Chains A and B, each alone.
Chain A
Amino acid sequence: MDALQISLADASQVYELLRTGKQVDWSAIERKAPEAAGSDKLDVTGLKKALSELRKQFPESLPSKSSDGPKFDALACAEIHSRLNISDVLASNQSFWAWLSLKYFWDLINWRHKGTGSFAIVENFSITKRRHGLLERLWFRAELGKLNHGSDPYQIVKTATDRDFWESGIIRPTYSSNRRVASAFIKYQFGVPGGRLHLTDPDGVRMLYKRVKRIYATLSLDVLGESDAEKLISDLAKGLKPSDRSKKQKNKRVA
């Protein structure tokens, strides 16, 4: 399937039409995405099928604070990334994500994000904020979280469900554009089950986001090798609050 796009202004109108149950004349607004290349492989049919199978494992409605939502996200990441085998240049085109979300995943995104309302808000369809749409956000999460060794490259992506870690710690900050630093950070935090640093305490992993941001002012993270990046993250994490689970494991080892 070719990668197409719709303008974000059209996307807003499509959102309103779909919300009011009206028909959309897609052929009038679709254009080929300029970044699309022959090497891009979009298995949209396979992805729709895989995500609806996955959805069956979850309740019919997802309240906004439900832990099921993040669990679904974690499992959906790998499906989205492996079935949308696209270049990162195409992935940077928000109009492509808006087209894909509105045309093929309207029901699924509403199910995942409507909460107590009737419909998910526009940003979940990649119409307004960049990397906030469900598909776009989860694709980037898997792109940054995919590790190049081990039997399953998506292992951490599928098991680390904490949305704040992925969005505030990895996707949003600039430092994660240095892919070796992003990998080192993810491996450090989720290389142990349940996470190494405390996820919600201000002196846990959230402090590590700040420390990495701060050091980026003085250090060219871009020129660091893999082992240098790993050493840097582990140095910066010294003295931070461990997660309850990793504390228990440490006590067990001592005993």
Chain B
Amino acid sequence: MSIKSDRSLAKKRSDSISLFPFLRHRGDLRITFKLDAHDQVIDAGRTIAYKPEFSTFGIKPTVEMQLDPLTIAKELGEKPPSLGMAVILRDRLIKRHSVLASWPLDDAPRNWTADNPIKISARSDLAVAFYLRANRAHDGGKAYRAGSTLASASISIMPDNDSSQFQMLDKPPSAFLELGMPEDTIWTVRLKDQADVEQPANEVVEIWINTKHKAQLISAQQRPDSKAFVSALAASIYAAAIRVVIASAHHAPQQPDGTLMSMCDKISKATDKTMDFRDIQIAVKGGDHHKIDAIAQVVAEMHKRLG
């Protein structure tokens, strides 16, 4: 038993998770999900909007995998019998993770549909995970413990925009001064007390709006070009929130949760520039400011519009 070696395996897991984009790019792999209450085929890595009927009547998910198990095993440096594949529902609000089905990789079907509808809450992930089936001798950097995750792909089901908004609080200029910020600061992002950075970002942070500027913000939103303004404001707040969450985490999350992915989508839309979670994570953690230029431009634009 070694805590240290488990820690070093975290990097391996991070590397193997990136296997999926690589295989997908090469055209070797496509893992898709379908929900009976949702018309579209959803590629792994996407986020879909939650509908209330998911918790009333449930969903019957289908998972389709287009790849030979031998290729997966080869890319993971394993043999098919030593690997297992599981379909897992991670319901975050209910606090229940359930294995819906699992197989040795050799026996895994290419298409699987749940037998019965499953009721889910407004924040769930549906994942396919490939894992080590049994303990084996400890061998350098290789996973050795039964259950070790070698790769995974998932989709997130998240509330519509209205219910995933950040909590906004009106604060007087003096509150900003107390934080050592100029008293004419327009807004800032704060971590909530006792925040658990593993939770979605909008539950972890709150936005402080300076009461001195609130009237300006409202009037700016009412201008004819308000749509662009609101998008820009939202994008800058999302970007700041992501930075706060990532900077506060003891370790970087290995993959984005649904909220972060949805934020990345919004930032991309607002800026017309492709922005994915990894770009932001690398930029923030590596201090590479060139890569977050797009975000900075949005913030600057917002300040310019406010005059």
Contact = CB atoms under 8 A, between A and B. Distances in A.
Contact of B1 (A179, A224, A235): A235
A218 B94 contact: no
A82 interface: no
Interface in A154-192: 171-174, 176-179
Contact of B147 (A89, A171, A213, A220): A220
Contacts of B9: 218
Interface in A92-146: 92-93, 128-130, 140, 143-144
Nearest to B152: A220
A19 interface: no
B72 to A, nearest CB: 16
A238 interface: yes
Contacts of B119: 35, 87, 89
A218 B251 contact: no
Contacts of A88: 94-96
Contacts of A143: 95
Interface string B103-146: 00000000000000001111000000101000000000001011
A176 to B, nearest CB: 7
Interface string A214-233: 11011111111000100000
B56 A219 contact: no
Interface in B1-26: 1, 3, 6-7, 9-10, 12-13
B291 interface: no
A28 to B, nearest CB: 21
B192 A228 contact: no
Contact of B97 (A34, A129, A178, A228): A178
A76 to B, nearest CB: 20
Q: Which of B13, B129, B146 is the most central at the interface, judged by chain A CB atoms within 10 Å of its CB?
A: B146
A236 interface: yes
B277 to A, nearest CB: 16
Nearest to B86: A223
A62 interface: no
B52 interface: yes
Contacts of A179: 96-97
A92 B121 contact: yes
B146 A228 contact: yes
A179 B90 CA distance: 11
B84 interface: yes
Q: Which of B10, B55, B131 is the most central at the interface, judged by chain A CB atoms within 10 Å of its CB?
A: B55
Given A218-B149, A220-B86, A176 B95 contact: yes
Summarize A's interface: helix, strand, loop or mixed. helix
Contact of A220 (B91, B121, B131, B251): B131
B156 interface: no
B149 A177 contact: no
B129 A223 contact: yes
Given A144-B95, A176-B95, A218 B86 contact: no
A91 interface: yes
Contact of B148 (A89, A91, A140, A218): A218
B264 to A, nearest CB: 21
A236 to B, nearest CB: 7
Given A218-B149, A220-B147, A223-B84, A140 B95 contact: yes
B92 interface: yes
23 contacts: A34-B52, A35-B121, A88-B95, A89-B94, A89-B119, A130-B93, A143-B95, A174-B198, A177-B91, A178-B97, A214-B251, A217-B13, A218-B9, A218-B12, A218-B148, A219-B145, A220-B129, A220-B152, A221-B97, A223-B84, A223-B88, A224-B146, A236-B1
Interface of A: 34-35, 87-89, 91-93, 128-130, 140, 143-144, 171-174, 176-179, 211, 213-215, 217-224, 228, 235-236, 238
Top 8 closest A-B pairs, CB basis? A92-B93, A92-B121, A218-B9, A88-B94, A217-B10, A177-B95, A235-B1, A35-B55
Given A172-B196, A214-B10, 20 more contacts: A88-B94, A129-B192, A130-B93, A130-B203, A143-B95, A174-B92, A176-B95, A177-B96, A213-B198, A217-B13, A217-B251, A217-B254, A218-B9, A218-B10, A219-B6, A219-B148, A220-B88, A220-B147, A222-B88, A236-B3
Interface of B: 1, 3, 6-7, 9-10, 12-13, 52, 55-56, 84, 86, 88, 90-99, 102, 119-122, 129, 131, 143, 145-149, 152, 167, 192, 196, 198, 203, 251, 254
